[in-house]
Amino acid sequence: LFANRRLIEVRLPTGKPGEMGSKALLDFLQHCGTDTTLVLLTGRIDKRAQATKWFKGIEKKGVVVEARSLSADQLPEWIQQRFRGLGISVTRGAVDQLAYYAEGNLMAAAQEIRKLAVLLDENAELDEERLEALTEDQARFSVYNLVDAALGTDAGRALRILTALRREGTEAVLVVWALAREARSMAAIAKALQSGESRSAVFRSHQVWRSREACVNLALKHHPGSYWSSLLGCLSGVDRVLKGRGTSAGDAWVELERVVLSVCGITTLSRIIS
């Protein structure tokens, strides 16, 4: 309140301040003193916006920093560079797996990389198996392990993970989200394969890394393409139960157990036709 300098932060998600906003920015640039700093955080600024008076005024009096979002193809290399900067050797499979887990969230990926750096021994190599072992007790990663165990028809392991998630207080909606995400991916994979696309190309475009190929192939063998759409319908029902908009014979976790067993190839859901 009594500082000698002021910092003003303005957020423009659209990158377009509008007529009134443009006038305000130009007025600020004309009359601001050295005791005030303006930080303008915007969305993408297209070429048309870059030609406006307010943008050119900011370029002239300040500094413009462009921070583009990483694409899905660029994320693995970014992760690799982070590990390299920490002196950690990491396999391509582990990088792809972490990129899949992070889902484009750079902050989450950076946090996990720092955690892994602390857990790894000096000069150790991080591969897929080591990554899974180090992250298995984290709810965010355990849901992916649950999905892969179910796809691989390992019912015992899948139920153990599901029970652990429930015991540790994991939100059931996170499990529903992970299963639904995989069901959509499997439906798309099955459709692409049925249309004649090569398996390697389909797996690559859907981020099925080498360590997951076995469980995904097993799931494709056990279930037809139509199964995954039916599974999404069941998960939608579980989601409604969680939101208080539907009812079931048991609670949401019981329904999730039935879903997981179904994915494992053990028929428990009358609504799913295998």
Q: CA torsion, points 124, 125, 131, 137, in degrees to nearest 10?
A: 0
pLDDT digits (tens, 9 = 90+) for 182-228: 999 999 999 999 999 999 999 988 888 787 899 999 999 999 999 99
Please say which residue of 23, 38, 61 terminates a domain.
61
Residues 151 and 217 in one domain: yes
Residues 124 and 189 in one domain: no
Radius of gyration of the chain from Cα atoms?
24
Residues 101 and 195 in one domain: no
> What is the per-residue pLDDT for 273?
38
> Is 232's pLDDT higher than 90?
yes
CATH of the domain at 214: 1.20.272.10
Does a structural domain hold residue 66? no
User: How open is the CA angle 108-113-117, to the nearest 5 degrees?
Assistant: 150
CA gap 186, 50 in Å, rounded: 42
> What is the per-residue pLDDT for 194?
94
176-181 long-range Cβ contacts below 8 angstroms, 24+ apart: 176/235, 176/238, 176/239, 176/242, 176/252, 176/256, 177/143, 178/143, 178/144, 178/146, 178/147, 179/147, 179/150, 179/231, 179/235, 179/256, 179/259, 179/260, 179/263, 180/232, 180/235, 180/236, 180/239
Does a structural domain hold residue 272? no
Contact 41, 10 (CB under 8 A): yes
Does a structural domain hold residue 67? no
Alpha helices in the chain (DSSP H): 18-31, 47-50, 53-61, 75-85, 92-102, 106-119, 128-135, 139-151, 155-167, 172-194, 199-205, 213-222, 225-242, 252-263
Domain count of the fold of the chain: 3
pLDDT digits (tens, 9 = 90+) for 125-156: 899 888 877 876 665 667 888 999 999 999 99
Does a structural domain hold residue 177? yes
> Is 263's pLDDT higher than 70?
yes
Residues 97 and 202 in one domain: no
Residues 230 and 123 in one domain: no
Bridge partners for 38 per DSSP: 8
Residues 241 and 258 in one domain: yes
pTM of the prediction?
0.62
The SS3 call for residue 40 is strand
Residues 119 and 195 in one domain: no
Does a structural domain hold residue 271? no
Please say which residue of 97, 119, 135 terminates a domain.
135
> What is the per-residue pLDDT for 272?
43
Contact 146, 158 (CB under 8 A): yes
Residues 194 and 258 in one domain: yes
- Averaged over 161-169, what is the pLDDT? 88
CA gap 28, 62 in Å, rounded: 12
Residues 128 and 146 in one domain: no
Which residues constitute the domain of residue 33?
Answer: 6-61
CATH of the domain at 90: 1.10.8.60
Does a structural domain hold residue 269? no
Residues 222 and 169 in one domain: yes
CA gap 162, 235 in Å, rounded: 15
CA gap 143, 173 in Å, rounded: 11
Does a structural domain hold residue 1? no
Q: CA torsion, points 87, 91, 97, 101, in degrees to nearest 10?
A: 0
Q: CA torsion, points 214, 178, 72, 112, in degrees to nearest 10?
A: -100
> Is 4's pLDDT higher than 80?
no
Residues 175 and 231 in one domain: yes
Nearest CA to 139 out of 99, 88, 177 is that of 177
Portion of the chain with pLDDT greater than 90, in percent: 36
Tokens of 131: 């990554």
Number of C-beta neighbours around residue 189 at 10 A: 22
Residues 168 and 121 in one domain: no
Does a structural domain hold residue 105? yes
